[in-house]
């Protein structure tokens, strides 16, 4: 396993574990690496320093070692608002998964009945929808199947 420090195009920093460097590259190429904060698919590796102990310091026994610090929790009020938004969207629209771009385009062209939907689209698919005048907006959370 390898841990990478990552940063999205919106400036959010986060970490994620991957089976290998090749696994990260493959997932990124397939559009499966997204920001843990905003869901942006434009994610790059951030500069990381290796965790190396000075040679003169004896290793700390595992039982006495402090666990790594967790990142600061998000603002509780903001997290509650995002949770309420997620609940509303999931209750009042259909999840169409990776078929979002095709479904949104079909509804826009009148080839499918209009209904509220949410799903996933790669950044180039979302840009194409916007260029075509299809009203879409990113959601501030990831689909449940892509979260822990």
pLDDT in tens for each of the 148 residues of the chain?
Answer: 788 889 989 888 888 888 888 888 988 888 888 888 888 889 999 877 666 666 666 666 665 566 776 666 667 788 888 889 999 999 999 999 999 999 999 999 999 999 999 999 999 999 999 999 999 999 988 877 776 5
Domain assignments of the chain as residue spans, ordered by start: 2-45, 76-143
How many angstroms separate the CA atoms of 82 and 62, rounded?
38
The pLDDT assigned to 19 comes to: 85
- Of the chain, the end-to-end C-alpha distance in Å amounts to 17
Residue keyed to tokens 């479904």: 103
The pLDDT assigned to 148 comes to: 59
The pLDDT assigned to 142 comes to: 81
């Amino acid at each position: 396993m390898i841990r990478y420090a990552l940063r999205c195009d919106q400036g959010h920093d986060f970490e994620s574990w991957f089976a290998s460097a090749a696994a990260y590259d493959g997932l990124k190429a397939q559009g499966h690496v997204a920001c843990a904060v905003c869901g942006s698919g434009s994610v790059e590796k951030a500069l990381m320093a290796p965790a190396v102990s000075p040679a003169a310091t004896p290793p700390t026994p595992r039982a006495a070692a402090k666990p790594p610090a967790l990142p600061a929790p998000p603002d509780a009020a903001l997290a509650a608002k995002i949770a309420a938004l997620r609940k509303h969207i999931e209750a009042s629209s259909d999840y169409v998964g990776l078929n979002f771009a095709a479904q949104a385009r079909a509804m826009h062209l009148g080839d499918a009945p209009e209904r509220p939907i949410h799903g996933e689209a790669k950044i180039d698919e979302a840009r194409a929808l916007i260029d075509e005048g299809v009203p879409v907006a990113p959601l501030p959370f990831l689909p449940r199947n892509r979260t822990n």
